[in-house]
Amino acid sequence: MSSSTFSNMRVVSQASPTRRLVAQNITDAIVEGRFLPGDRLIERELCELLGVSRTSVREALRELEVDGLIESIPNKGPIVARISQNLARSIYEVRAVMEGLAARLFAERATDGQIEQLSVAVDEIACVYAEFSSERFLEAKSRFYKILLDGADNEVVAQALRSIHIRVSQLRTFSLKQPTRGDASLRELRALIARIRQRDGSGAESESIKHVSNAASAALEMMETLNPESTYSSEAKP
Going 196 to 200 to 202 to 203, the CA torsion angle's sign is negative
Share of the chain above pLDDT 90, in %: 57
CATH 1.10.10.10 range(s) for the chain read 18-81
Q: Taking 90 as the threshold, does the pLDDT of residue 219 lie above it?
A: no
Q: What is the pLDDT of residue 231?
A: 56
* CATH of the structural domain 18-81, one choice from 3.40.47.10, 1.10.10.10, 3.40.50.2300, 2.40.50.140: 1.10.10.10
**How does pLDDT run across 123-159, given as a tens digit for each residue?**
999 999 888 877 788 889 999 999 999 999 999 999 9
Per DSSP, helices labelled H in the chain are 18-31, 43-50, 54-66, 85-109, 112-130, 134-152, 155-175, 181-197, 201-226
Instruction: Over range 18-35, report the average pLDDT.
Output: 86
- Name the architecture of domain 84-232: Up-down Bundle (1.20)
Cα 124 from Cα 57, distance rounded (Å): 36
Cα 109 from Cα 96, distance rounded (Å): 20
Cα 169 from Cα 189, distance rounded (Å): 17
CATH 1.20.120.530 range(s) for the chain read 84-232
